[in-house]
Chains A and B, each alone.
Chain A
Amino acid sequence: GAVVSQHPSWVICKSGTSVKIECRSLDFQATTMFWYRQFPKQSLMLMATSNEGSKATYEQGVEKDKFLINHASLTLSTLTVTSAHPEDSSFYICSASRAEYEQYFGPGTRLTVT
């Protein structure tokens, strides 16, 4: 149990376009979902926390207008990178919380902006 999926697993897009990444909890209902960003050989940095049906809470320094998060249901959250630029290229990972403190992570999405 506690399986989280992400789609797509990798995406290449042109500078200025938008990209949507989906995160789904497959076998449990997630009250809270999280979006992280990870640069090579660095740790995970929390970008935002989202609860179903409410606005996401963004970490300091994360542009909410650039990284749009929608948590439409207890099993689906989406991250849209708007007007992507090469510096947005990174590994994006979502996680879903089933118990109060435990998080289960998706496999990640590799975004490359050319």
Chain B
Amino acid sequence: EDQVTQSPEALRLQEGESSSLNCSYTVSGLRGLFWYRQDPGKGPEFLFTLYSAGEEKEKERLKATLTKKESFLHITAPKPEDSATYLCAVRGTDKLIFGTGTRLQVFP
């Protein structure tokens, strides 16, 4: 059964304190791993798609990496506006399977 596990559930960082979020997955035939950002009361905002092990993508302070078993979302020198829930999802044979997310809070 396809499964996605994200850790930690919650993360509190001081502004400028870099860290990483983890997404572990098991899926038969990976057809993409997706990272989304979700603010309270809003729909997920697309960040990255990764398709194969070794692939990396960057956007501003965020960098996503992928191995055969997990993905990391690295946040470099975060700012308070980076506070949100970060969702990881994988696509196997037919649909997206979402993790429960990591709630990130960045304090000034």
- B98 near A110: Cβ-Cβ < 8 Å: no
Question: What 0/1 pattern do residues 39 to 51 of A give for CB contact below 8 A with B?
Answer: 0001110100100
Partner of B43, one of A42, A43, A49, A93: A93
A102 near B34: Cβ-Cβ < 8 Å: yes
Given A105-B43, A108-B41, A108-B43, A46 and B95 contact (CB-CB distance below 8 Å): yes
Asked whether, in the complex, the Cβ of B34 is within 8 Å of the Cβ of A110, the reply is no
Q: Please report the total number of B residues contacting A with Cβ < 8 Å.
A: 19
Contact in complex: B36, A43 (CB < 8 Å): no
Contact of B87 among A2, A34, A44, A91 (CB under 8 A): A44
Which of B1-60 touch A at CB < 8 Å? 31-32, 34, 36, 41-46, 49
Supposing A2-B46, A42-B100, A46-B96 touch, asked if A110 and B87 sit within 8 A by C-beta, the answer is: no
Q: Is there an interface contact between B42 and A108, defined as CB atoms closer than 8 Å?
A: yes
Residues of B near A44 (CB, < 8 A) are 44, 87, 98
Interface of chain A residues 80 through 114 with chain B (CB within 8 A): 91, 93, 95, 101-108, 110
Beyond A43-B87, A101-B31, A102-B49, is A107–B42 a contact (Cβ under 8 Å)?
Answer: yes
A-B pairs with lowest CB-CB distance, top 8: A105-B43, A101-B32, A43-B98, A108-B43, A43-B100, A105-B44, A107-B43, A44-B98
A-B contact pairs, 9 of them (CB 8 A): A4-B43, A42-B100, A43-B101, A46-B96, A93-B44, A102-B49, A105-B36, A105-B45, A107-B43
Residues of chain A touching chain B, judged by Cβ–Cβ distance below 8 Å, are 2, 4, 6, 34, 42-44, 46, 49, 91, 93, 95, 101-108, 110
